[in-house]
Amino acid sequence: MKKLPIGIQTFEKIRSDDYIYIDKTDIAFDIIKSYDYVFLSRPRRFGKSLFLDTLRNIFEGKKELFKGLAIYDKWNWEETYPVIKISFKGSLHGKEEIEERLRGILRNNEEDLDVKCNEKVAVYEFFAELIKKASQRYNQKVVILIDEYDKAILDNIEDLKKAEEARDVLRAFYSVIKDSDEYIRFAFLTGVTRFSKASIFSGLNMLTDITLDERYGNVCGYTQKDLEESFKEYLNKINGDLEKIKEWYNGYYFLKDKLYNPFDILQFFDKNGLFDNYWFETGTPTFLIKLIKERNYFLPALSNLKVDKKLLSSFDIENLDLEVILFQSGYLTIDEMIVDEDGDIAYKLKLPNREVKSSLHRFIVDYLYGDRGLRYKDLSKALKGRDMESFKVNLISLFASIPYNNFVKNNISEYEGFYASVLYAYLQSLGFDIEGEDVTNQGRIDLAVKLPDVIYLFEFKVIDEEPLRQMKEKGYYQKYLSTGRDIYLVGIVFDREKRNIKNFIWEKM
**pLDDT tens digit string along 245-281?**
999 999 999 999 999 999 999 999 999 999 999 999 9
* Contact between residue 155 and residue 91 where contact means Cβ atoms under 8 Å apart: yes
Q: What is the pLDDT of residues 384-410, one digit of tens each?
A: 999 999 999 988 888 887 765 554 444
Q: Map residue 376 onto helix, strand or coil.
A: helix
> Residue 44 burial (CB < 10 Å; 0-12/13-18/19+)?
middle
Q: Which residues contact 192 (CB under 8 A, 6 or more apart)?
A: 41, 42, 43, 44, 148, 150, 154, 328, 329
- Listed in sequence order, the residues at least 6 apart from 385 whose beta carbon sits closer than 8 Å to its beta carbon are none
- Whole-number Å distance between alpha carbons of 154 and 172: 17
Instruction: For residue 135, give every residue at least 6 positions away whose Cβ sits within 8 Å of its Cβ, in sequence order, or none.
Output: 82, 141, 142, 183
Question: What strands lie across the sheet with 208-209, from one edge to the other?
Answer: 83-87, 142-147, 184-191, 37-41, 208-209
Say how far apart CA 144 and CA 85 lie, in whole Å: 6
**494 within 8 A of 419, measured Cβ to Cβ:** yes
Partners of 192 in the β-ladder? none
Which residues are within 8 A (CB) of 68 and not within 5 positions of it... i.e. 6 or more apart?
none
Please, are residues 4 and 269 in contact by the beta-carbon 8 Å criterion?
yes
Alpha-carbon distance of 220 to 148, in angstroms, equals: 14
Question: Under a CB-based contact definition with an 8 Å cutoff, are residues 53 and 80 in contact?
Answer: no
Contact status, residue 426 vs residue 375, Cβ threshold 8 Å: yes
pLDDT tens digits along 318-361: 777 888 888 988 999 999 999 888 888 899 999 999 999 888 88
Tell me the torsion sign for CA atoms 324, 329, 334, 339: positive
The reported pLDDT for the residue numbered 413 is 46
Q: Where are the domains of the chain?
A: 11-216, 224-282, 286-508
- Residues recorded for the chain: 509
d(CA 95, CA 161): 10
Q: What CATH architecture applies to the domain 11-216?
A: 3-Layer(aba) Sandwich (3.40)
Phi, psi of 276 (to 5 degrees): -155, 170
What's the angle, vertex CA 231, arms to CA 6 and CA 240, rounded to 5?
105
Angle at 244 between CA 242 and CA 248, to 5 degrees: 115
Burial 176-188 (b: 16+ CB within 10 A, else e): bbbebeebbbbbb
Residue 352 to residue 46: CA distance in whole angstroms: 14
Segments of the chain scoring below 70 in pLDDT: 195-204, 311-312, 369-374, 403-417, 437-444
> Residues 165, 168, 170, CA angle at the centre, nearest 5°?
110
Cβ distance 381 to 393 under 8 Å?
no
pTM of the full structure: 0.88
